[in-house]
Amino acid sequence: MAATEAPSNEQVYKVPLKVLVDRSLNKVVFAEARKDFVDVLLSFLALPLGTIARLVAMESNIPPVKLGSLSSLYESVSNLEEEHLWTPTCKEMLLHPRSSMESYYQHLKLNIDDTQPTKYFLCENLECSRKYGESLLSIFNNQRCSCGKLMNRIVYPENITLENGFVNETATFIICDDLSVLPNVLVTSLNLLEKLGIKDMDAIEEQTVDISKREVVDLLKLSLISKSPLTDFIFEKKPRVDDLNPTNESWFEKGEESSDEGRRIVVRALVKKSNKKFMFAGAEEDFADFLFSFLTLPLGGVLHMLEGNSSLGCIDELHKSISELSPDRCLRSQRLKEELANPKCALQFAFSGQILPIVEVSLPVYYCHTFTDGKINNLVVSTSTRPIYYGYDRSIQLKILDRKSSIVDLRIGKGFAKGPSTFMVTDDLVVSPMSAISAVSYLRSQVPLSDLEERVISVGVKEGLAILKASLNSTSALSNVLQQFTKITELEN
C-alpha cells in the first residue's frame, strides 16, 4: 500500500516548526509550536487504530511501519470477502473507520486522516420523509430504507458545526523530544535544559523545519516506535524499533484475572505442547468481531483503557500531557479536554457484544421538516423542531438507521462478522473464514500433530485488554497473552 506522491504542481501546505537542538549531542532539546502543529499532533489521539494501521503502512520520508499484529489484522480484513460480513458497509467501516472527533480536525490543513467525513442520507423516496410517524436517517450511503428504496438523498443538517481544532488560537506550546505537549512558559524551557543536563550552551542552536502532511505521517510513525521521535525526525536517525515485546507484566497483575461476571468469549485454540506457542484458533463470529473492533477504537480511548502502559514508542507521553493542559488557556474547553483524553467510538461503530469498556458517542435527535414552495418540495434537517406556522407543513423525528441493517433485519448493535460461522485466527491476528483444508496445510508446515493440543480460552475484560495491548506490540499477540494467563487456559473443555 504505497502512498501516492502529491502532484508537483499542487501547493503543499507547510507549517514552520522551530526546534532547539544540541549539536554536540545530536539531540533535540525541545520544539516550540503554535496551533497548526499542536492540533494535528493531538489529532493522533482521535484516530481509530484502523486509520493508524493504514497511515503507517504508507510511504513517507520514513519507510512503511508495521504495528504489532494490528497491521496483519487490517490486511486480513481487506482480504476478507464481503459475504463474511453483514453488509459491504461493514468492510468499509473497518478499513476506513470514522473518528468520533472528526469535526475537530477534519478541516485542519495538516490533517492526515483521509477518511470521508460523516454524511447524512434520507430515503430517495421523498414521500418516505414526509410520512407521519418515524422516518429514517442514515449516516452511510446506499443503505436500504424500511420501504425498500435506497437511502441516498444527501442532506446537510443545520447546526452541525466544524470545530476549529483542539487548542486556542493564540496559545503556544513546548513540544518535548517524546512529544509531550507543555504550555509555553519560560520556566518550563529552563527546567527542560536543566533536566537534559545541558551545560554547553554554545552547542545549542535554533533550527526551523517545514512540516507538511508527509512529515506529520513521519511523526505519527515515530510516536509509535521511538522514544525520541523529534530527535529521530530532525537528525534523520534510524528509529530504534524497541524490542517488540516489552510486555509490562506488572500491569496485568494489578487485578485478578477476570471474574465470571460480564460477558466472556470462548475460543478453542490449538497450542504447541512443547513451547506453548499458539498455532491458531477456531473462533465464532463473536471473537472475530472482538478483533475487528480494534480497528474502530480511537487511539486515545485505547491508551486510556491501557492506563498509560501501551509500551508503544512514546505515545503515552502525548496522551498524558492532555491532563496537564489547562482547559482555559491551552485547550478550547473542559469538555474537549475530557473527550480527547478518552475519545469514544464513532456513532454506530460500537456493538452490543463488545467486552472492552468503551462506548460510542450519541447523536442528537434530528428532525426532518418539509414544506412546499410552489411546486417544489423542500426539506430541512435540524436538531430542533419547528412550529408549523413558519410554513413547514410537517416536522418529524428521524431515527438513525442501523448501519448493518437490511429490510429483513433491523436488530441494532450487531457486530461486523456474519454468523453463525467459524473463523480461523492466527497468532498475528489474521482472521479468515475457517477451512479444514487450509487449517491442515497450515499446521502440517508448522508442527508435528503429536505436539498439538486443544485449549479452551475464555476471554473477559482483562484478557481482552491484554490481547488489545499485545496486538499493538507483538506479532505473536495470542501466544503472548496465553503465556500471561496460564491459568485460564487450564480450563480444558
Asked if 268 and 410 count as a contact pair (C-beta separation under 8 A), the reply is no
Q: With respect to Zn ion, which residue has the nearer C-beta, 149 or 272?
A: 149
Which residue from 10, 98, 49, 40 is spatially nearest to 217, judged by alpha carbons? 40
- Residue 374 backbone class (left: φ over 0; alpha: ψ -120 to 50; beta: rest): left
> At its nearest, how many Å lie between Zn ion and the CB of residue 383?
22
> At its nearest, how many Å lie between Zn ion and the CB of residue 144?
8
Coil, strand or helix: which one is 249?
helix
Distance, CA of 78 to CA of 82 (rounded, Å): 9
Which residue from 365, 345, 462, 359 is spatially nearest to 94, judged by alpha carbons? 345
CA contacts within 13 A on the Cβ side of 168: 16
181-220 positions binding Zn ion, by CB under 5 A: none
> At its nearest, how many Å lie between Zn ion and the CB of residue 414?
21
Indicate the angle between helix axes 461-473 and 477-484, nearest 10 degrees: 140
Q: With respect to Zn ion, which residue has the nearer C-beta, 130 or 227?
A: 130
Asked if 335 and 351 count as a contact pair (C-beta separation under 8 A), the reply is no
> At its nearest, how many Å lie between Zn ion and the CB of residue 265?
36
Q: With respect to Zn ion, which residue has the nearer C-beta, 94 or 145?
A: 145
Asked if 257 and 481 count as a contact pair (C-beta separation under 8 A), the reply is no
> At its nearest, how many Å lie between Zn ion and the CB of residue 124?
7
> At its nearest, how many Å lie between Zn ion and the CB of residue 370?
14
Number of residues engaging Zn ion in binding (CB under 5 A): 6
Which residue from 409, 399, 414, 272 is spatially nearest to 353, judged by alpha carbons? 414
Helix, strand and coil percent figures for the chain, each rounded to 5: 35, 20, 45
**216: Cβ contacts below 8 Å, ≥ 6 apart:** 40, 110, 112
Asked if 346 and 99 count as a contact pair (C-beta separation under 8 A), the reply is yes
> At its nearest, how many Å lie between Zn ion and the CB of residue 129?
8
Q: With respect to Zn ion, which residue has the nearer C-beta, 153 or 404?
A: 153
240-299 positions binding Zn ion, by CB under 5 A: none
Strand order in the sheet with 265-272: 431-433, 422-426, 277-284, 265-272, 452-459
* Residue 433, phi then psi, degrees to nearest 5: -60, 140
**What x/- string results for residues 117 through 146 when contact with Zn ion is judged by CB under 5 A?**
------x-x--x----------------x-
**Residue 147, interface with Zn ion (CB under 5 A)?**
yes
Q: With respect to Zn ion, which residue has the nearer C-beta, 149 or 394?
A: 149
Q: Please identify, among the stretches 115-123, 294-302, 303-311, 398-406, the one whose residues bind Zn ion according to the rule CB under 5 A.
A: 115-123
Q: With respect to Zn ion, which residue has the nearer C-beta, 69 or 129?
A: 129
Q: With respect to Zn ion, which residue has the nearer C-beta, 143 or 475?
A: 143
> At its nearest, how many Å lie between Zn ion and the CB of residue 121?
11
Q: With respect to Zn ion, which residue has the nearer C-beta, 31 or 151?
A: 151
DSSP structure class, residue 369: E
> At its nearest, how many Å lie between Zn ion and the CB of residue 123?
3
Q: With respect to Zn ion, which residue has the nearer C-beta, 128 or 481?
A: 128
Chain positions contacting Zn ion, by CB under 5 A:
123, 125, 128, 145, 147, 149
